[in-house]
Structure 1
């Protein structure tokens, strides 16, 4: 199912490219500062951010002087840490993410990006560290976390020159990723889990 959705998004991106007046390709990389929104939080401690990375390719399709469509295929590492008095619970997730966003060019340098993103879980783990016994236990995240996550990306960019662009983006999770009906992991089955992360990025566009 998730591969079908991913293929559909890729097909839509190719369709948009046929209307483009100008096409740019590049590579993108940077840092992720991520967390997980848990609702209801109940007795869980407040989550601490996990620092990860993103890396992949970018295609920018110019539709007009002011409006572009930007597509990205990125590897993203995200998660969160929940530290209590006796233990630490860490969620470490790796996604393959496909973005299709509208990009509004305010002027020659500044732009605003807004669009949907689909994230396919490729791996990860739930790690529990017992502070008292000084022991760790790891569980496969695929057993407790949904494989497909939909999110909304909102950000701003600044193009230094024709080849280099810097950006910051907030990615808001729309999917309840809790897939642990029998509560073998960290979370109760009634707790909604939604990813959140901030990206600090640099894009290098090829000539």
Structure 2
């Protein structure tokens, strides 16, 4: 895991050295998350959990239309688990590192897509029930106003099985993020 972080920061550092207009900002917003996969089939209904995300964002232009957007976010995820009469919310909190390719379509409007690596930092489930590493793919769009305020909508689809080794079947994170932020 430390090697993965080192490689990510090394790549971002080399991109930064060749960029002219490096920008950064902060963002926060609402998460609407649930778990997909076959592990929870037959255990009851899994609803969406509404929570939050917050963190920092950077933008490194490559060309006039294309840039790389790394982020570092605290993201509260999980599911509203209604299992029989004991309805409980499953809480999975991650530190996520999205590294998105961003294409500027029009003035202020851009599309973004790329990998999202998450590190589980907190859960209300048993410690061994979920893996500490999550990998997903994010796709979305953002719009920046003239006063440096921006809004974004993103869907992060988990592609890695997050179940611990002692649990059969697979499950993955699915998160819709609605954000607002400010670029410095």
Deviations 1:9-61 (A, max 9, x none): 12211121122231111111111110000315431223111111111111101
TM-score under structure 1 length normalisation: 0.84
Q: Tell whether 2:108 aligns with 1:102.
A: no
Whichever of the two has the greater Rg, that structure is 1
The answer as to 2:181 corresponding to 1:203 is: yes
Normalised to the residue count of structure 2, the TM-score between the two structures is: 0.94
Q: What CA distance in whole angstroms lies between the structure 1 residues aligned with 2:88 and 2:37?
A: 13
Residue 17 of structure 2 is aligned to residue 18 of structure 1: yes
Q: How far apart in 2 are the matches of 1:61 and 1:195?
A: 28
Deviation at 1:143, TM superposition (A): 1.8
Q: What is the alpha-carbon distance in structure 1 between the residues aligned to residue 147 and residue 107 of structure 2?
A: 10
The answer on whether the counterparts of 2:117 and 2:134 sit within 8 Å (CA) in structure 1 is: yes
1:93 and 1:40 mapped to 2: Cα distance? 16
Alignment check: 8 A CA contact 2:44 2:84 kept: no
Q: Offset at 1:194?
A: 0.2
Q: How does 1:104-183 map to 2 (within 5 A)?
A: 104-126=103-125, 140=126, 142-181=127-166
Kept after mapping to 2: 8 A contact 1:6/1:118 = no
Measure the CA separation in 2 of the matches of 1:9 and 1:99: 10
Match for 2:170 among 178, 192, 198?
192
TM-align CA RMSD: 1.4
Which range is displaced more, 197-206 or 8-17?
A: 8-17
**1:69 maps to which residue?**
68
User: How far is 1:180 from its partner?
Assistant: 4.8
Residue matched to 2:7: 8
Shift of 1:203: 1.9
Q: Which runs of 5+ in 2 are unaligned?
A: none
